[in-house]
Amino acid sequence: MARDAMQSAAAGDVATAEKLLTRVVAARPGFAQAQHLLGQARLKLGRFADARMPLQSAAKLLPKEVSAQVNLAGCLSVLGEHDAALVALARAAELKPGDAAIAHNRGRMLAKLGRSDEAEQAYDEALSIDHRLMPSLVGRAELLAARGEWMGALADLDMALVSRPDDAALKLKRGEILLRQGDWLRGLADHEARLDLPGERYTPELPRWQGEPLAGRLLVYPEQVDIDGDAAIRDTLMLARGIEATLQCGAILEGWLDGPIVRRGEPLHDFSAAAPLRSLPFLLNWSPHDLPQAPPLRGVAAAAPLSDGLDTWQTHLAARLGLPTTLRLSATADWLWGPPGRRFTWYPGLTVEEADGV
C-alpha cells in the first residue's frame, strides 16, 4: 500500500496517495517514512493543520533526517507557531550546518516574531553561504528599510534584481523605498510595477497609456475599487492636474470639477487608452519641486472642508480651495508627500506638520 501511495504521488495524484498513506499510518503508526510522506502529501493539498501530527511524528521517529525537521518547521510556520518552527529549524541546522535555506528560514521565523536583529543575523548567515539567495536579500532589505537604513535595503534589492530583473514585486519594493526618500527620478518607473501585480485595484478595459499621442480620448482614473472612498477622492483632488483628459470620478466630486468627466460604470467606447492618477507623475515627468497647478473647483459651498486635519479628502479639499490649511502627517505618510522634513508642496497656503503616531 505504501508503494502504491508513492506511485500515485509520483504520478501527481496526491489525493489518492494521501488516502493510502492514511491507511498505512493507521495500521503502522511507527512507520516513520509513511508518517513523513503523509505529512508531505497533506502539505501539498494545503491541509496544514492535518499535516502537523504526522510531521511531528516523523520528526520524532527520524531525529537525524533534515527534511523531516524542515517540513515540520514549514508546517508550523504556516500555522503561526513560529517559536515551535524555530526549534525544528535549530535541530535541522545541527544536522546540516552551513545550509543557506535553513538559515534563511530561521531569519524568516525570527522576523515574524519581531526579533529583527536576530533575523538580520540569520539572513547574513544565509547570504554568506549564497550571496545571491534572493529570498534572504529581500528579507534583509525589508528589515533594513523598516529601520530607515535605505542604502543597505536598496543594495540588497539591486542584487536580487540582478538575478530576476523582470520581477515586478522586487521592482515595486525598490520603487517604494526610493519614493519614500523623495527620489522620484529613480522611483517612479519602479512604482509602475504595481500595475503588473495582482491585487485589489480597479482597471478599465482599455489599453494602458504610456505617454504616446492618441487618436481618441484619454481616461484618467483613481485605481481604488471604491471610487467614493477617502483614498480615491483624496487622490483625485491631489493628482487630477497637468493634463487634458477625461476624469473618471464618483458622485461626491462630480459637481465640483471643471472639464470632462465620466462616472464609473458608464461606457468607455470612444476612449483610446487610460492611465491611473498615480501614474501621472511618471508619465508626465513631474518634478516634486515644480508640480503643475491644480485647476479650480466649483460649487463647493455645501462641502465641509477641514482647515486642520489628517491626510483625508476633507483636508485636501480645504487646501485645494486655497484656504489656509494645516495638514498633520505621520512619518509613514503617503510617498506623494515626500520624506519627513522635506515635504512637497501640493497646494499653495498649505502647512505640513509632522505628527508621529497619528
The answer to whether residue 105 sits within a structural domain is yes
The answer to whether residue 127 sits within a structural domain is yes
Same structural domain, 90 and 239:
no
pLDDT (tens digit, 9 = 90+) per residue, 168-207? 999 999 999 999 999 999 999 999 999 999 989 999 999 9
The answer to whether residue 34 sits within a structural domain is yes
Same structural domain, 171 and 246:
no
Q: Considering its fold, how many domains does the chain have in total?
A: 3
Residue 72: which of 115, 43, 96, 99 has the closest Cα? 43
Residue 139 lies in domain: 2-195
Same structural domain, 168 and 62:
yes
Same structural domain, 66 and 136:
yes
- Residue 309 confidence (pLDDT): 87
Same structural domain, 180 and 233:
no
Mean predicted lDDT score pLDDT of the chain: 92
Same structural domain, 267 and 160:
no
pLDDT (tens digit, 9 = 90+) per residue, 77-136? 999 999 999 999 999 999 999 999 999 999 999 999 999 999 999 999 999 999 989 999
Q: Is the full-model pTM beyond 0.75?
A: yes
pLDDT at position 42 over 90: yes
State which of 283, 317, 339 marks the end of a domain.
Answer: 283
The answer to whether residue 331 sits within a structural domain is yes
pLDDT at position 291 over 90: yes
Q: How many of the other CB atoms lie within 10 Å of CB of 201? A: 12
